[in-house]
Amino acid sequence: MILRLLATFALLVVPTAGCDDDTTSVSEETTFEVSIENTSMLYDFSASGVFNTPVGAGAPAPILPGDAYEFSFSAAPGSKLSFATMFVHSNDFFYAPDAGGIELFDMSGAPVTGDVTSQIMLWDGGSEVNQEPGLGVDQAPRQSGPNTGAADPDNTVRIAPDDFNNLPAVDQVLQVTLSVAGQTDFTARIENVSTATTLMTSDGGMLSVPLAPGVWVVHGDDAPLFTVGQADYGDGLEALAEDGDPSSLGAALAAATGLTVPLSPGVWAVHTADAVLFTAGQADHGDGLEALAEDGDPSGLAAALAGQSGVVSSGAFTTPDGASMAGVILPGQSYSFTVTATPGAKLSLATMFVQSNDLFYAPDEEGIALFSMGGSPVSGDVTSQFMLWDAGTEVNQEPGIGLDQAPRQSAPDSGAEENGTVRLVNDGYTYPSVSDVIRVTVTPTM
């Protein structure tokens, strides 16, 4: 997933040409270095969770014949789904897709729907010696306590062996279906289709096959839950496969789940007038903010600022520190540039929140004062003066999922027109706090 993000984000923006960091030479000038750091996290998974409560029930429980678990999630093209649920009459067997997961979109980009049971297999977790399914004294329904069985001498995750010649076919135990609302909102349903005679035991007994609470995860790279032929990762699959307890594995997945937020090349301006980039509550000035906020392209706005009244100097930052080419900055990377200013001057800059339709980080329309009231140059972290703005040019979609957002759109400016105003984002979606994504520092150098 991370490698795919790196490759995708590297292609998002159009390098800016012809924008020089010109400054005005006057008395009492101070040169400042400005640094824009991406302080967000690089996540492995876009969504994950635990399913533990049967449809229509009021509390967590296994599912018996006729019962089902359901869970819903959003996913973007290129995403896959994995899940795991315990075969309860076993020592450490669980149902799951193969390590690559279930593709959620077909080759044409259409969401996959319908019955996907054929992609599910019964796996051996490799943590406990197998006993006859349905009879073993160290299996969850009969054991004296969790994790009571002997360690498996083969500790690798593998297809469950039918050592006792009584394992039912997968589709005799469960049915897995996918449905979708729109293009990106999925619901998965895991239904127990076993009957009272599905599992036959050597003593002549007949049993249904309960399924235990489990975990699910939306991912890009393979093997989020296990690697075939290798030992369990140690994140909680053992507790799920032996005892039907998904809590530890769910917590491990949650810690690696979130929205990775690149920041785009942007523009800066040293100015004495207000509202050089935008005016809050009014439509975009039409000078290029739309292209920056929607597509991470600062070239038009940088060119417009160069001739704008009240702008002392301006330019674009396009190349990450230490890089040789223009591009976005991912977590841990930064942009930097220098400006020269005199008392009374202010600094504005804008950079795109790339996982959006038209959101950008910037201070308010007045900008950041570069000098104190007494004329001393400002120094230090000025992130508290930055906000996440909505340019009002394109209808917002779920961050990191929307098909008209830069990493996923078919072409620049492809989303639905909003014809709105520039304002602080307030669209009902959840966004990280500003300081969790960006840090801006201003340092006088001479």
pLDDT at residue 145, as a whole number:
87
Same domain, 274 and 230: no
Backbone angles phi, psi at 79, to 5 degrees: -85, 155
Amino acid 28: pLDDT: 83
Report pLDDT digits (tens) over 170-220. Answer: 999 999 999 999 999 999 999 999 999 999 999 999 999 999 999 999 999
Of the chain, the percentage scoring pLDDT greater than 90 comes to 91
Does the pLDDT at position 14 exceed 80?
A: no
pLDDT score of 71 more than 80: yes
Q: Please indicate, yes or no, whether residues 350 and 300 belong to a single structural domain of this protein.
A: yes
Q: What is the mean pLDDT of residues 336-356?
A: 98
| Higher-scoring residue by pLDDT: 11, 363 | 363
Which of 343, 348, 366 minimizes the C-alpha distance to 30?
Answer: 343
- Whether residues 199 and 342 fall in one domain: no
Q: In what order do the strands lie in the sheet with 334-341?
A: 334-341, 30-38, 438-444, 380-381
Domain ends where: 227, 255, 283? 255
245 and 335 share one domain: no
CATH classification at residue 355: 2.60.40.2130
100 with 185, same domain? yes
Residue 106 sits in the same domain as residue 158: yes
Same domain, 307 and 430: yes
Q: What is the mean pLDDT of the chain?
A: 94
DSSP string, 58-92: SS---B-TT-EEEEEEE--TT-EEEEEEEBSSSSS
Instruction: Determine the pLDDT at residue 6.
Output: 45
Residues 293 and 232 reside in one and the same domain? no
Rounded-to-integer distance, Cα 429 and Cα 204, Å:
56
Whether the pLDDT of residue 5 is over 70: the answer is no
Domain range for residue 437?
2-42+259-444
Looking at 193, 227, 255, the residue that finishes a domain is 255
Instruction: Record the pTM.
Output: 0.92
What are the tens digits of pLDDT across the range 244-286? 999 999 999 999 999 999 999 999 999 999 999 999 999 999 9
- 3-state SS, 394-418, equals ECCCCCCCCCCCCCCCCCCCCCCEC
Per-residue pLDDT band for 1 (boundaries 50, 70, 90) equals very low
* Segment 380-418, tens digit of pLDDT: 999 999 999 999 999 999 999 999 999 999 899 889 999
Report the greatest alpha carbon distance in the chain. Answer: 98
Question: Is 249 found in the same domain as 150?
Answer: yes
104-137 residue pLDDT tens: 999 999 999 999 999 999 999 999 999 999 999 9
Q: Measuring CA to CA, which residue among 392, 317, 401, 326 is closest to residue 356?
A: 401
Under the banding of pLDDT at 50, 70 and 90, the label for residue 19 is: very low
- Check whether residue 282 and residue 421 sit in a common domain: yes
Structurally, how many domains does the chain consist of? Answer: 2
Burial classification of residue 7, based on how many CB atoms lie within 10 Å of its CB (0-12 exposed, 13-18 middle, 19 or more buried)? exposed
Q: How confident is the model at residue 446 (pLDDT cuts 50, 70, 90)?
A: confident
Mark which of 255, 275, 302 sits at the end of a domain.
255
Confidence bin at 7 (pLDDT 50/70/90): very low
* Same domain membership, residue 12 and residue 52: no
pLDDT at 307 over 90: no
Least confident of 1-10, 152-161, 239-248: 1-10
Q: What does the alpha-carbon distance between residue 310 and residue 271 come to, in Å, rounded to a whole number?
A: 6
Say yes or no: 28 and 90 in one domain.
no
